[in-house]
Structure 1
Amino acid sequence: MLQENKRIKSANYVSNYDAIFACPICQSTMKVLESKSLICSNQHTFDFAKQGYINFTSYPVKTKYGKELFEARRKLITEGSFYKPLSHAIAKIINEHKGKTKETISILDTGCGEGSHLSNICDIVSSDSFKSVVGVGIDISKEGIMVASKSYSNKIWAVADLANTPFKNKQFDVILNILSPSNYAEFNRLLKTEGLVIKIVPQRGYLKELREYVFHKPEKQNYSNAETVERFNENFQFVDSLRLSYTMNLNKSLIQWLVEMTPLTWTATKERAKSFLNKDAAQITVDLEILIGKKTIK
């Protein structure tokens, strides 16, 4: 019964915003019907899952990102406050650029994973600016979206392909792209005329202590995002870029969640990963670049 309530509550919430959707099959308009499905004008139907999310993909997608990884990431973010400075930095950017001019701010997180980044940022933006915030999170991983929809209510969660998102043109004030793949043509399509895209990329010091510990080769220990930054600047009107660097002191539980959450350990030897897991404490560097761009007007 609880799961049925979750499905109905989510459908009722989405019905307030169903005007943003376009069918990923035929691009026609969509409506929530009978508190259980999103249906387009050509009768293509997408049901709400019992956890409250919608799956817009027409085929199962296999990824290495499993439920355990997303649960570990959620704990690291919520209980460990690992990305708290990042959430506040992003919220500040949104409020500086959007807080004074809009009563409602719509935010799309592309590659949202288990939803903690989006939920935290929406909460901070709302509390700092007293604005109504509509948060929408999409990811290709069903496991991530399941965790998101179980954990965070009053958001729109969807399994969707970044190359074919289920939304009409010019629907979002802000697009977030946090440590995940991009589709810049789609971002420009979805942004409102004065919309912002905020992309987070790792800088050379990101998780350097973990990389240096689990990898022997120098090329695996270092990271460059020069090409990523260049591509971003080619696709959007440059607004600003900020460097965010800080260190976190992790206890044994936080170390375990970090190792479980990061793909860095996938290619490391089991011995090196296990050895890092056996530490009682560790200091870890978070080193990120925040890229801010505006929609390209053509």
Structure 2
Amino acid sequence: MFQKSKKLISAAVLEKHQDLFRCPLCKKTMQVVYLQSLVCSNHHCFDISKQGYVNLLSRGMRTKYDKKTFEYRRLISKNGLFNPLYGAVSQIIMNNHLSNEPIRVLDAGCGEGSHLNNIHTEINRTKPMDLMAVGIDISKEGISSAAAENPSAIWCVTDIANCPFQSQKFEFILNILSPANYSEFQRLLSDHGLVIKVVPNQDYLKELREILYMGSEKQNYSNSLTINHFKKQFNLIDVESIQYQVNLNTQLIKPLLGMTPLSWGTSEERIEKVLQLNLKQVTMDFKVLIGSVKS
């Protein structure tokens, strides 16, 4: 009964906003049918899952992120490690929403939805607004987890290179510590919309990097190529730097290692060294790039 009610809640949200969608296969308009499926005018049909999300991929796609990775990221998020970042992004959205229309926010590469859900919560806490939140990711495990947490948002399994949405439908596109597809972002943004991209800065989790990559070229990180590429694609309106220290208890060290790609490709010996260090603090360091579509 609980799962059925969650599906119906999500289906009703999808139906309310079905004008957003276009078929990923033929680009035709779509509508929700019998609160069960999202169907285009050429009869391509995508069922609403019992968890409340829609899988709009035409074929399965592999990702390095698994269920455990998303569980770790949700745990880290719930323990407040990203809270100052959420506050900053929420403020950018509130400061730049200039109309009386509901805010339409797309989180591209949303994973298990923690970032989008926390930003939505922060906006409601600070200045309640009518906000339509949409999260997309290529990982079915991530989207399933996101939908279970918040059935009032729209969650889709899809490829960010082929987003199942009509053009110019989003006022804000979030891209937080995730790969981007700028041609799709340009298509999806409304005339006065903004892309808010969060990238790691050089000291992000430096305490981990120094151990995991000691003696290698990866020990020092630079985001200059990412920032330069963003500037070629969008008008760079502003850049915010956010750096802070967070306290850790020992139970969070393993999840912190497990949620970040920093631990991929390094040796078990170095991972064990981090676990044995009993770190008390880590550095969170981000650049927030704010851009608009070039005319």
TM-score range with shorter-chain normalisation? over 0.9
Residues 252 and 279 of structure 1 are in contact (CA less than 8 Å); yes or no, is this contact kept in structure 2? no
Offset at residue 30 of structure 1 (A):
0.6
Offset at residue 282 of structure 1 (A):
2.6
Offset at residue 131 of structure 1 (A):
1.3
Distance in 2, Cα, partners of 1:124 & 1:216: 37
Residues 134-179 of structure 1: per-residue CA shift (max 9 Å, x gap): 0000001111111111112210000001110000000000000001
Tell me the equivalent position of 1:69.
69
Offset at residue 272 of structure 1 (A):
1.4
Distance in 2, Cα, partners of 1:46 & 1:35: 12
Runs of 4+ with >4 A deviation: none
Q: Where does 1:19-34 land on structure 2 (aligned, <5 Å)?
A: 19-34=19-34
Equivalent position SS for 2:32: strand
Offset at residue 256 of structure 1 (A):
1.5
Offset at residue 49 of structure 1 (A):
1.0
Percentage of pairs with the same residue:
45
Residues 263-287 of structure 1: per-residue CA shift (max 9 Å, x gap): 1112111011122123434311111
Query: Is residue 2:23 matched to residue 1:36?
Result: no
Query: Is residue 2:58 matched to residue 1:52?
Result: no
Residues 15 and 32 of structure 1 are in contact (CA less than 8 Å); yes or no, is this contact kept in structure 2? yes
Distance in 2, Cα, partners of 1:274 & 1:83: 25
TM (norm. structure 2) is 0.97
Equivalent position SS for 1:278: helix
Tell me the equivalent position of 1:244.
242
- 1:269 paired residue among 267, 270, 274: 267
Distance in 2, Cα, partners of 1:260 & 1:130: 34
Residues 243 and 289 of structure 1 are in contact (CA less than 8 Å); yes or no, is this contact kept in structure 2? yes
Equivalent position SS for 2:51: coil
Gaps of 5+ in 2: none
Distance in 1, Cα, partners of 2:149 & 2:85: 20
- 1:140 paired residue among 126, 138, 141: 138
TM (norm. structure 1) is 0.96
Offset at residue 129 of structure 1 (A):
2.8
Distance in 2, Cα, partners of 1:125 & 1:192: 21
Gaps of 5+ in 1: none
Offset at residue 183 of structure 1 (A):
0.7
Count of aligned residue pairs for this structure pair: 295
Code of the aligned partner of 1:35: L
Residues 206 and 287 of structure 1 are in contact (CA less than 8 Å); yes or no, is this contact kept in structure 2? yes
Code of the aligned partner of 1:82: L
Tell me the equivalent position of 1:169.
167
Distance in 2, Cα, partners of 1:279 & 1:50: 43
Tell me the equivalent position of 1:131.
129
Distance in 1, Cα, partners of 2:41 & 2:277: 57
Distance in 2, Cα, partners of 1:241 & 1:116: 23
Distance in 1, Cα, partners of 2:236 & 2:32: 37
Q: Where does 1:184-263 land on structure 2 (aligned, <5 Å)?
A: 184-263=182-261
Query: Is residue 2:86 matched to residue 1:87?
Result: yes
Tell me the equivalent position of 1:4.
4
Distance in 1, Cα, partners of 2:80 & 2:150: 17
Equivalent position SS for 2:13: helix
Distance in 2, Cα, partners of 1:108 & 1:258: 26
Offset at residue 223 of structure 1 (A):
0.7
Query: Is residue 2:16 matched to residue 1:16?
Result: yes
Offset at residue 218 of structure 1 (A):
3.9
Equivalent position SS for 2:151: coil
Code of the aligned partner of 1:290: V
Distance in 2, Cα, partners of 1:62 & 1:101: 40
Code of the aligned partner of 1:129: K
- 1:179 paired residue among 177, 187, 205: 177
RMSD between aligned residues = 1.1
Residues 180-227 of structure 1: per-residue CA shift (max 9 Å, x gap): 111111001000000010001111101110011122224111111111
Residues 93-140 of structure 1: per-residue CA shift (max 9 Å, x gap): 111111x42331000000000001001111222332321000000001
Code of the aligned partner of 2:106: L
Offset at residue 2 of structure 1 (A):
2.0
